[in-house]
Amino acid sequence: MQTEEFFQILVTLPANETHRQTLAAACPGGRFTYLPQEALSEAAVAGADVIVGNLPHALLPACKRLKLLQLASAGADGFPARMPEGAVLTNASGAYGLAISEHMLGMVLGILKRLYTYHDDQRQSLWRDEGTVASLEDAVVLAVGMGNIGGEFARKCKALGSYTVGIRRQLREKPDYLDELHSLSELDELLPRADVVALSLPSGPETDGLMDERRLRRMKPGAVLVNVGRGKAVVTDDLMKVCAEGRIHAALDVTDPEPLPPDHPLWQTPNVHITPHISGFFHLPQTLDRIVSIAAQNLRRFCEGRPLLNVVDSETGYRREDNRA
């Protein structure tokens, strides 16, 4: 492996001075260039040994020297199949649990406590009692996807008194904050029990279209569906139909299609509450801090020739289980 003095490191993150110092300390001899994604070009990426942050897929063929791409995202959609030969792909899984799980919790409580309804009443100057509300205490929360995001959401719900059930692609030892742990093959049996169904899944053949009309109707009447993973996990037309009937509620930070066109009927579907895929990103400053921390750990390991963290499996698109950050 070449010595670190010659590593050209391109960073596309909106890094502040503290972040830059952290990254520089991880690879003291590295030559750092900071460019936002919108300023990237084939010439800008061609000489990079390491890229920290995301870049358009179309620029990957120009990355002739690339040895490591450290994504700023937990998802790696489209990257594994396009990676230059010999380059390693790592993600930022572990950075988003705090921000997105709190966003999920806020949306769920907004529905259970009728806060969205009272907000609409306020806009109409209506002083009106909207009736009974529900609680997360003793509610059954089904977390479909038990990565950092799903795990943190289940942990928070458990702290509020919920009975927590998790679904994982690969089963391993059950964490203390879960009351039950199951595989995806058991989803149909678990849906009728859940008061809250929380999806934090990547896109893929196993998950695209997972929640179709049949499964949506298996949910308990009045239950809340939360989706913060990928919009394609839910069949949009089916969701609109079931929510318009008043059978379930939906809290969506991701949609299909995305961005959701202004004239799309999902915007006006009763019992659907939408945020525009903003629960993650860098809106919470701690998220960017955590991404930089993961990137710095991997830069240090890369420069020292040690195994990397959060390596994405090219076959599955998931982070390998044996090298979690």
HSE-CB of 300 using CA atoms within 13 angstroms: 11
Q: Interhelix angle for 97-112 vs 285-304, to 10°? A: 150
Which residue among 119, 264, 273, 277 is the active-site one?
Answer: 277
State yes or no: is 277 an active-site residue: yes
Q: Copy the structure tokens of residue 131.
A: 């009736």
The three-state (H, E, C) secondary structure of the chain, written as one string: CCCHHHCEEEECCCCCHHHHHHHHHHCCCCEEEECCHHHCCHHHHHCCCEEECCCCHHHHHHCCCCCEEECCCCCCCCCHHHCCCCCEEECCCCCCHHHHHHHHHHHHHHHHCCHHHHHHHHHCCCCCCCCCCCCCCCCEEEEECCCHHHHHHHHHHHHCCCEEEEEECCCCCCCCCCCEEEEHHHHHHHHHHCCEEEECCCCCCCCCCCECHHHHHHCCCCCEEEECCCHHHECHHHHHHHHHCCCCEEEECCCCCCCCCCCCHHHHCCCEEECCCCCCCCCCHHHHHHHHHHHHHHHHHHHHCCCCCCEECCCCCCECCCCCC
Question: ∠ CA(211), CA(217), CA(222), 5° rounding?
Answer: 105
Which residue, 276, 312, 314, is CA-closest to 92? 312
Which residue, 285, 303, 312, 266, is CA-closest to 2? 303
Catalytic residues: 277
